[in-house]
Structure 1
């Protein structure tokens, strides 16, 4: 057990350094850079070099104890900044998933309606193309249908119900599970998770961790954006960090929702067996709608 706790402590320390301290140190360096240059000397490399040399000389002249204290202060400041950013990450997550605050309800409704209307237009366009060539299709006709289908799935995997693309990917999995299997994942997911194989849970955990890391990365754009008050190039840094986090989050959400849908397809019957629900004695194959509805009734418990 001692070895286990040592490894756990090492893992936690590594995570603390990578998620809080290192980004915080970089940000504190950005603060020093912004204060040293300001707007008027934003790209003055000569001034920056002189300031860095003076700062290094000042640190070298400090007593050993003062240098150690300075390191502690910098690390504490970096960690404190990291904790603040981690707290703000929840806000970033809600924004990206379309869970906007109630005062923005009208904006959410309008954005969701716009996405839904666009989705229905693409569905109608695809069906019109399919009706126009009901029999054997030429390659050009099939390519045209496939192009519209790809545009449709890029927009949303099911009828949009959220204001953002990431939110709709999560919503689509819930919608598909309910309409295809009668399974309400809002109540059924925690039960399904407990019966999933370890390998499946590991894949889902990795995808979710990638999303959480991307959200944290994107949130670091906020403090850098605040630096634009004293140093305008910080906006370029903020934009780069924000776009990087956003792109990684989209990829992570796509992976997570694809894996979640696959888990429902492959292991829904395992959940049915665990709950004593089953229309047929077979132990393989996807859930039937009646089985999913009975599972939903069980896990909802009348709620």
Structure 2
């Protein structure tokens, strides 16, 4: 009976089982079992599997364990967005009010860090203009150029964390360059993108969510300190690894968001029947009106709709 159950179960869920075997939820619960064994010994677990005659009971226990693991994985996954926003620095109102001094200090630290990096970049930029950069200076110049792109341009836009600034900078660049608010325009632009662009964005966002999920499970792993001390270094090491993963994934995701506006914003203008800009300065003005039009609507004749490409009125 148990053999048939396991065989049927394996045939139906083989791919899902393999995919989730080394997922954070499984590692979390396996770590908990090891911590329990470390505290109480192997016999405390072995007593649940006393004899082969009770094989159906053993299969039932394994099935219950599997269900618990899968349900916990689903529950934690539902909080991916909330955890990500917390790591960015968007805290809930009650917590935010209590932690306002800490958030302010963290934000000022990020502003100071950008200022120091910018000062160093300016010195290297002067040497670059004078063709006096050494190989090491050139490598640092490129690195600083990349890092500075991960900060917003205005102090009011700064977030308390590095992750928050990476994503905020990606959101602000379309507005600074084209006058298009990323949050307001994104849902419309998404519908106009080709499938290949959507897939790249979905893959990048999945990678970002995976890092957030591992970070969440790493913090939850501290629960097992009730049984063993080594849960603390394991949780800290895993959380640091996950946060580095999140930063890299957020950088890629932010670059893709910026690229989408660079490549497909014209489709947004055309779909809304807005006139195409003739130069960058005019585009910023039109982009601001597109943002306002999508957000609140334009009640005056600031913009004359263009004729659709097929010549038919919509």
TM-score past 0.5 threshold = yes
Q: Distance in 1 between matches of 2:12 and 2:180?
A: 37
Quickly say closer, same or farther: Cα 1:196–1:36, change in 2 above 3 A.
Answer: same
Q: Is the 8 A contact 2:38 2:228 kept in 1?
A: yes
Gaps of 5+ in 2: 1-10, 299-314
- 1:137 equivalent in structure 2: 131
Q: Say if 2:98 is the partner of 1:107.
A: no
- 1:33 equivalent in structure 2: 34
Q: Say if 2:276 is the partner of 1:276.
A: no
Alignment of 1:230-241 (within 5 A): 230-241=227-238
Greater displacement, 117-126 / 107-116: 117-126
Q: Is the 8 A contact 2:83 2:212 kept in 1?
A: yes
Aligned to 1:117, the other structure's residue is in SS state helix
Q: Distance in 1 between matches of 2:128 and 2:253?
A: 36
Q: Distance in 2 between matches of 1:240 and 1:91?
A: 22
Kindly provide the CA deviation profile for residues 63-118 of structure 1, in whole angstroms up to 9, marking residues without a partner as x: 23312221222122223432443355444312322212312222222211221122
Q: Is the 8 A contact 1:122 1:152 kept in 2?
A: no
- 1:44 equivalent in structure 2: none
Quickly say closer, same or farther: Cα 1:31–1:145, change in 2 above 3 A.
Answer: closer
Quickly say closer, same or farther: Cα 1:118–1:31, change in 2 above 3 A.
Answer: closer
Alignment of 1:65-84 (within 5 A): 65-84=56-75
Q: Is the 8 A contact 2:151 2:166 kept in 1?
A: yes
Alignment of 1:1-303 (within 5 A): 18=19, 23-38=24-39, 51=43, 55=46, 58-101=49-92, 102=96, 103-131=98-126, 136-140=130-134, 144=137, 147-148=140-141, 150-151=143-144, 153-154=146-147, 156-159=150-153, 161-280=158-277, 288-301=283-296
Greater displacement, 72-81 / 164-173: 72-81
Aligned to 2:99, the other structure's residue is in SS state helix
- Quote how far apart the aligned CAs of 1:190 are: 0.9
Q: Distance in 1 between matches of 2:108 and 2:12?
A: 45
Q: Distance in 1 between matches of 2:187 and 2:16?
A: 26
Q: TM-score, normalised by structure 2?
A: 0.76
Q: Distance in 2 between matches of 1:206 and 1:69?
A: 37
Q: Is the 8 A contact 1:97 1:165 kept in 2?
A: yes
Q: Distance in 1 between matches of 2:275 and 2:125?
A: 37
Kindly provide the CA deviation profile for residues 255-293 of structure 1, in whole angstroms up to 9, marking residues without a partner as x: 1111111111111111111111124589xx998212211
Greater displacement, 78-87 / 251-260: 78-87
Quickly say closer, same or farther: Cα 1:161–1:281, change in 2 above 3 A.
Answer: closer
Aligned length: 280
Q: Distance in 1 between matches of 2:266 and 2:15?
A: 39
Q: Distance in 2 between matches of 1:24 and 1:129?
A: 47
Q: Distance in 1 between matches of 2:181 and 2:192?
A: 16
Quickly say closer, same or farther: Cα 1:87–1:196, change in 2 above 3 A.
Answer: closer
Aligned to 1:220, the other structure's residue is in SS state helix
- Quote how far apart the aligned CAs of 1:121 are: 3.0
Aligned Cα root-mean-square deviation (Å): 3.5
Q: Distance in 2 between matches of 1:95 and 1:11?
A: 37
Quickly say closer, same or farther: Cα 1:153–1:26, change in 2 above 3 A.
Answer: closer
Q: Is the 8 A contact 1:265 1:286 kept in 2?
A: no
Quickly say closer, same or farther: Cα 1:27–1:119, change in 2 above 3 A.
Answer: closer
